[in-house]
Amino acid sequence: MLPDSEFNFLKQLVEAPSPSGFETPAQRVIKENLAPLADHVKIDVMGNMMVRLDGRGGPRMMLAGHCDEIGFMVQYITDEGFIYFGAIGGVDPHLSPGQRIDIHSANGVIKGIIGKKAIHLIEVKDRDKVIALKEQYIDIGCGSREEVEALIQIGDPITFSVGLERLQQGRITSRALDDKMGSFIVSRVFAEVKNAGGATSELVCVSTVQEEVGLRGGTTSGYGVDPDVAIVVEVTHATDTPDVDPKGIGRVEVGKGPVLARGANINPVLFNLLVETAKQEEIPIQIIGVPRATGTDANSLQLTRGGVATALLGIPLRYMHTPVELLAESDLQAAIKLLTAFVLRIEKDQSFIPL
Ligand SMILES: [Zn+2]
By the CB criterion, residues less than 5 angstroms from ion ligand 1 are 178-179
Average pLDDT for 268-296:
97
Q: Which of 66, 67, 138, 144 is closest to 103 using CA atoms?
A: 138
Average pLDDT for 157-166:
98
Compute the distance from residue 233 Cα to the ligand 1 centre, in Å: 9
Residue 29 has pLDDT above 90, yes or no: yes
Chain-centroid distance of CA 244 in Å reads 21
Q: What is the pLDDT, as a whole number, of residue 355?
A: 86
Compute the distance from residue 337 Cα to the ligand 1 centre, in Å: 21
Q: What is the pLDDT, as a whole number, of residue 128?
A: 86
Give the C-alpha separation, 254 to 171, whole Å: 9
Tell me the pTM. Answer: 0.96
pLDDT class of 225 with cuts at 50, 70, 90: very high
Convert the pLDDT of each residue in 302-328 to its tens digit.
999 999 999 999 999 999 999 999 999
Compute the distance from residue 189 Cα to the ligand 1 centre, in Å: 19
pLDDT class of 278 with cuts at 50, 70, 90: very high
Please provide the average confidence, as pLDDT, over all residues in the chain: 97
Q: What is the pLDDT, as a whole number, of residue 333?
A: 98
Compute the distance from residue 77 Cα to the ligand 1 centre, in Å: 30
Residue 13 has pLDDT above 90, yes or no: yes
Give the C-alpha separation, 232 to 185, whole Å: 10
Convert the pLDDT of each residue in 119-136 to its tens digit.
899 999 988 899 999 999
Compute the distance from residue 254 Cα to the ligand 1 centre, in Å: 17
Compute the distance from residue 180 Cα to the ligand 1 centre, in Å: 8
What amino acid positions are annotated as catalytic residues?
A: 211
Give the C-alpha separation, 13 to 68, whole Å: 11
User: Contact at 8 Å (CB) between 105 and 156?
Assistant: yes
Convert the pLDDT of each residue in 38-95 to its tens digit.
999 999 999 999 999 999 999 999 999 999 999 999 999 999 999 999 999 999 999 9
User: Contact at 8 Å (CB) between 307 and 299?
Assistant: no
Convert the pLDDT of each residue in 239-261 to its tens digit.
999 999 999 999 999 999 999 99
CA distances, 151 to each of 25, 40, 170, 193, 328 (Å)? 20, 39, 40, 45, 39
Q: In what order do the strands lie in the sheet with 325-328?
A: 165-166, 171-174, 325-328
Give the C-alpha separation, 272 to 265, whole Å: 14
